Chain A
């Protein structure tokens, strides 16, 4: 979508931005998926981001870090676990709900009072320094903590992954061309290598990865690696979609805010353009030029 707008609106600039990373390798182009967040009015599908978080925590977090995010980000405006105080007309009571549904109005619950985020953070053990002895220790996580990294340092990460470094996933959908489609294709793109291609020891064939051989074992190889509480069937394809959706949100959590301010700003500017144009024509009326 982004590429479409670009082509239409700034053809000359788009010319310069043409990607050509695929020149030497026979890397397949990512499969174009439909995402709720693409397009000028697109928004994240909150339920999918929540499910994707579960996949991330259960599967990917074993190897990948997400170090630019804190647990509290999950409960901030636009986050998957933002909670709201909503008035329930049937019971006549205020209650805390996850997200806003069906156009209801509600007040965002402050992070320190958000029960979902507190539970998510508390389930993680965070390395820390003991205040009294100065020794390394671990404690239950707090919403203010950064997402826990699985390895203490890059050397340990490489050592555990056959020499390859699992990249941090905080901005992964921005760090690849056609990011969301790429991540989704990569997760679902494992297969046997084509005939005649030499097998690389300790690597797995994936036609979407540059060079074809990736050090990441198929992370979503079987169904039901997670159990979705909303009853969605956890097929590999579904989990791949959801975790990609979550990573897209993680890469650009303010996207919805930006688009909605964008709509207001563009509308304002259009009206202003019109008014200024009238004023300009008025000033120049009668002056030949």
Chain B
């Protein structure tokens, strides 16, 4: 793609080197003369931001590793020592911690950019897939790194995630035990997590090299999604792209600095400042913000499907959510690359972005919490005051007839004058029936904002009536429909998969795209996007 090399060694030494190791030629062709489309917008600068993030994480990480102690007894204290006593540790530790969040912020922008402008389509499928591999490695690295400080969230997130792997049929438990290095999260787990956390970033470096190689082979896509055709469509990488990348990188550093210097702990969870304790489960286990959407998908499945139980179902969908990205180049059937010229796809894309953010929100909530306010939980109470009660034991002939038999007996008591009958099943075939007759029937309705509150209200009312004068109270609970976080996550998850598996494949076949300019030059004259 880059065409014949334009590198001219300027001195004797570089001429000598060029015929032995043409590394300067490679650098020149890749980062100086490399032609980049001249219509790239700011969304194309995040690859540079990501490269900066990767370097920052590796450099700060190596320094931290010199002072960190991977042992369950010392890990928490060693991080405190870094923040308090190690020269510049108070700066390096927050940079690394905040840096992980910044890295993910940048990668999400980078990925949504690719989605919107169709950067995954031919001839960039391999480039995209390498990106997906990087993303998977990033998730793994972040997860491993989060366990290292050995705080409460470290420990419990590691417990939850490794247990998930146990849900995989046949090999699951073996993989889990191998990963944990035992039957529970313990010192061996921390040791291997540390080792892998140090290893993976270098694998990422390797894949990034392939990623950039693939990029330079296929050439950069651009907002118009049309290939550069003539020389005027591109500008040399240096200084045009370098200066633009530098500008956005510095702006990004401002945001980075804002967190590092002024709110280093805002993105973390306070529970991680409590040393890990296997005997105390936090009230609410949550991953870091950048993994919340996947956590929501995992928890959305609260039902079994045939042989797949809810836990395995959640695991499948969670991994599936990343797996679809790998095959995306073959799911999207549209021949138009950039969504700029796909007005309908644009709308679905916008919804998709909102859905991803909403999934993140769901991941941070309690699953049973209501999303929108619902009517109160109500119960109708019925009891008899001042009556006399009689008890009777009924034995059914078989378990199958039991319910009908008890009901028939209750009906008999009612006909004999009982105003209220309580059926208390004591065994599969036996029940004690209590009937009250005489006295006056009373009714009341109580309510509470959720089921627990309602039960409390019912209990209070019962207690106030007194067991002596009122032997029992008939309770008829009326639960309103509650739109819970889990229900909401299910809808969002459905859209997530529908977008990739339904909308993109079908829309590409049916939609009418707006007119795509045939050259980059025309796209620039045509309009501002």
Contacts of A23 in B (CB 8 A): 366, 369
Per a CB cutoff under 8 Å, which of B77, B262, B265, B524 touches A259?
B262
B524 pairs with A289, CB closer than 8 A: yes
B254 pairs with A266, CB closer than 8 A: yes
B261 pairs with A269, CB closer than 8 A: no
Q: Closest residue of chain B to A176, judged by CB? A: B270
Chain A 29-71, CB-CB to B under 8 Å as 1, else 0, gives 0000000000010000000000000000000000000011100
In the complex, B253 has a CB within 8 A of chain A = yes
Contacts of A273 in B (CB 8 A): 247, 250-251, 254
- Given A16-B361, A265-B261, decide whether A279 and B91 contact each other with a Cβ distance below 8 A: no
A2 pairs with B263, CB closer than 8 A: yes
A280 pairs with B243, CB closer than 8 A: yes
- The stretch of A7-15, A83-91, A125-133, A219-227 in contact with B is A7-15
B84 pairs with A73, CB closer than 8 A: yes
- A20, A174, A289: residue with the most chain B Cβ atoms closer than 10 Å: A289
Distance (whole angstroms) from the CB of A7 to the closest CB of chain B: 10
A254 pairs with B364, CB closer than 8 A: no
Contacts of B289 in A (CB 8 A): 13, 16-17
B292 pairs with A16, CB closer than 8 A: yes
Distance (whole angstroms) from the CB of B522 to the closest CB of chain A: 11
Chain A 155-170, CB-CB to B under 8 Å as 1, else 0, gives 0000000000001101
In the complex, A253 has a CB within 8 A of chain B = yes
Contacts of A269 in B (CB 8 A): 250, 253-254, 257
Q: Which of B223-264 contact A (CB under 8 A)?
A: 235, 239-240, 243-244, 246-247, 250-251, 253-255, 257-258, 260-264
Distance (whole angstroms) from the CB of B34 to the closest CB of chain A: 15
Contacts of B251 in A (CB 8 A): 273
- Given A174-B270, A289-B39, decide whether A270 and B262 contact each other with a Cβ distance below 8 A: no
Distance (whole angstroms) from the CB of A198 to the closest CB of chain B: 12
In the complex, A136 has a CB within 8 A of chain B = no
Q: Closest residue of chain A to B105, judged by CB? A: A13
Distance (whole angstroms) from the CB of A169 to the closest CB of chain B: 11
Distance (whole angstroms) from the CB of B177 to the closest CB of chain A: 29
In the complex, A119 has a CB within 8 A of chain B = no
Q: Closest residue of chain B to A270, judged by CB? A: B254
Contacts of B360 in A (CB 8 A): 15-16
- Given A259-B261, A261-B261, A266-B261, decide whether A17 and B271 contact each other with a Cβ distance below 8 A: no
In the complex, A262 has a CB within 8 A of chain B = yes
In the complex, A283 has a CB within 8 A of chain B = yes
In the complex, the number of residue pairs spanning A and B with C-beta atoms less than 8 Å apart equals 131
In the complex, B267 has a CB within 8 A of chain A = yes
A175 pairs with B243, CB closer than 8 A: no
How many chain B residues touch A (CB < 8 A): the figure is 55
Main secondary structure of the interface of B (DSSP, over half): helix
A20 pairs with B260, CB closer than 8 A: no
In the complex, B135 has a CB within 8 A of chain A = no
A17 pairs with B364, CB closer than 8 A: yes
Distance (whole angstroms) from the CB of B523 to the closest CB of chain A: 10
Q: Closest residue of chain B to A9, judged by CB? A: B258
- Given A15-B357, A262-B257, decide whether A280 and B247 contact each other with a Cβ distance below 8 A: yes
B261 pairs with A175, CB closer than 8 A: no
Q: Closest residue of chain B to A67, judged by CB? A: B77
B524 pairs with A257, CB closer than 8 A: no
- Given A16-B364, A284-B244, A288-B38, decide whether A254 and B524 contact each other with a Cβ distance below 8 A: no
In the complex, A5 has a CB within 8 A of chain B = yes
Q: How far is the CA of A263 from the CA of B262 in the complex (A)?
A: 9
Contacts of B363 in A (CB 8 A): 16
Contacts of B90 in A (CB 8 A): 254, 257-258
Distance (whole angstroms) from the CB of A31 to the closest CB of chain B: 18
Q: Which of A138-186 contact B (CB under 8 A)?
A: 167-168, 170-171, 174-177, 179
In the complex, A200 has a CB within 8 A of chain B = no
Chain A interface category by residue count = 35 or more
Contacts of A73 in B (CB 8 A): 84
B40 pairs with A289, CB closer than 8 A: yes
- Given A273-B251, A288-B524, decide whether A17 and B266 contact each other with a Cβ distance below 8 A: yes
In the complex, A272 has a CB within 8 A of chain B = yes
B271 pairs with A2, CB closer than 8 A: no
In the complex, B419 has a CB within 8 A of chain A = no
Per a CB cutoff under 8 Å, which of B39, B247, B257 touches A265?
B257
- A2, A69, A167: residue with the most chain B Cβ atoms closer than 10 Å: A2
Distance (whole angstroms) from the CB of A196 to the closest CB of chain B: 8
Contacts of B255 in A (CB 8 A): 9-10
Q: How far is the CA of A287 from the CA of B38 in the complex (A)?
A: 8
Q: How far is the CA of A132 from the CA of B365 in the complex (A)?
A: 59
Distance (whole angstroms) from the CB of B271 to the closest CB of chain A: 7
A253 pairs with B261, CB closer than 8 A: no
Contacts of A69 in B (CB 8 A): 84
Contacts of A40 in B (CB 8 A): 262
Per a CB cutoff under 8 Å, which of A16, A167, A259, A277 touches B247?
A277
Q: How far is the CA of A247 from the CA of B372 in the complex (A)?
A: 39
In the complex, A195 has a CB within 8 A of chain B = no
Q: How far is the CA of A17 from the CA of B369 in the complex (A)?
A: 16
- Given A171-B273, A287-B240, decide whether A261 and B91 contact each other with a Cβ distance below 8 A: yes
Q: Closest residue of chain A to B273, judged by CB? A: A175
- Given A175-B273, A253-B84, A262-B257, decide whether A20 and B366 contact each other with a Cβ distance below 8 A: yes
Per a CB cutoff under 8 Å, which of A15, A254, A277, A287 touches B83?
A254
In the complex, A199 has a CB within 8 A of chain B = no
- Given A21-B283, A258-B91, A289-B524, decide whether A167 and B250 contact each other with a Cβ distance below 8 A: no
Contacts of B246 in A (CB 8 A): 276, 280
Chain A 84-103, CB-CB to B under 8 Å as 1, else 0, gives 00000000000000000000
In the complex, B515 has a CB within 8 A of chain A = no
In the complex, A18 has a CB within 8 A of chain B = yes
A258 pairs with B261, CB closer than 8 A: yes
Distance (whole angstroms) from the CB of B245 to the closest CB of chain A: 9
In the complex, B284 has a CB within 8 A of chain A = yes
In the complex, A233 has a CB within 8 A of chain B = no
Q: How far is the CA of A270 from the CA of B83 in the complex (A)?
A: 27
Contacts of A277 in B (CB 8 A): 247
A2 pairs with B240, CB closer than 8 A: no
Distance (whole angstroms) from the CB of A70 to the closest CB of chain B: 8
A254 pairs with B84, CB closer than 8 A: yes
Q: How far is the CA of A259 from the CA of B257 in the complex (A)?
A: 10
Q: How far is the CA of A118 from the CA of B365 in the complex (A)?
A: 50
Q: Which of B66-90 contact A (CB under 8 A)?
A: 77, 80-81, 83-84, 90
Q: List 19 A-B contacts (CB under 8 A).
A: A2-B263, A5-B263, A9-B255, A17-B364, A18-B364, A177-B270, A179-B270, A210-B283, A253-B84, A254-B83, A254-B84, A259-B262, A261-B261, A265-B257, A269-B250, A269-B257, A283-B240, A284-B244, A287-B235
What 6 pairs across the A-B complex have the smallest Cβ distances?
Answer: A262-B261, A175-B273, A254-B90, A16-B289, A280-B243, A68-B80
Beyond the given pairs A20-B364, A258-B94, 13 more chain A to chain B contacts, judged by CB atoms under 8 angstroms and listed by A's residue number, are: A2-B262, A5-B258, A17-B266, A20-B284, A20-B369, A171-B80, A258-B90, A258-B261, A262-B257, A266-B258, A266-B261, A276-B243, A287-B235
